[in-house]
Amino acid sequence: MTDTIGAGTLPAAYAWLRDETGPRMLIEALKLFGTLEAPGARDNPTIISWAREVDLIRTYSHDSIPWCGLFMAVVAKRAGKPIVDSPLWALSWADFGRLAPAPMLGDILTFKRDGGGHVALYVGEDMGAYHCLGGNQSDKVCITRIAKSRLYRARRPAYNVQPDNVRKVKLVASGKLSTNEA
C-alpha cells in the first residue's frame, strides 16, 4: 500500500506519516514529497520557484546545485519558522531553533559528508540510521536512511507549544544506507 503525498508516492513503510498532525515543518515537507530534480541541463521550475519564494534566486539558479538547504528554507518559511543565515549551506541549519538533546519527529538533522554537509527532517530511526525526509536525496524529495555516526547536530524548532506528537520513532531498518546526498 502506498499513499500519494505532494508530487510522489509515500512508501508503505512511511504511510503512517500522512496521519501526523504536526510538527508543521514536517507537514509542509510532506506536501513536497516526490519533487524531482530535472535531468541534464534542464531545471525543475518548482525547485527554481522555491529560490524565488525565499529570496535566493540571485544565488540559486539551477537545480543541479545542491538544494537540500533550499528545500529546508522553503519548508521553514511555509511553516512560519525563521530561515537561517546562508541557508543553502546545509551545515548552517545546525544553528536553527534550539539544540535537541535527542532527535525526534520533525527535528532538523545536519550531517557531515565528504565535501560538505546535508540537512533533512527526522521521521524516525533504526539501530544504525536516522530515517530522514529531505530534498536533494537521490535528486528528489524523499525519505532516506543516513548513518547515525554522520550526525553533526540535531535542532528542534522553537515552539510556542510543542506538538504532542514530537517523539522518538522506532522503525525497521530497510533500504540502503545513504553515503552521499549530493
**DSSP code per residue over 105-168:** TT-EEEEEETTEEEEEEEEEE-SSEEEEEEEEETTEEEEEEEEGGGEEEEEE---SS--TT---
Amino acid at site 117: G
pLDDT tens digits for 64-118? Answer: 999 999 999 999 999 999 999 999 999 999 999 999 999 999 999 999 998 899 9
**Per-residue confidence (pLDDT) for residue 1, from 0 to 100:** 34
The model carries a pTM of 0.95
**Per-residue confidence (pLDDT) for residue 7, from 0 to 100:** 62
CA 176 to chain centre: 18
Average pLDDT over residues 49-78: 97
Give 118 or 175, the one with higher predicted confidence. Answer: 118
Band of pLDDT at residue 5, cut at 50, 70 and 90: low
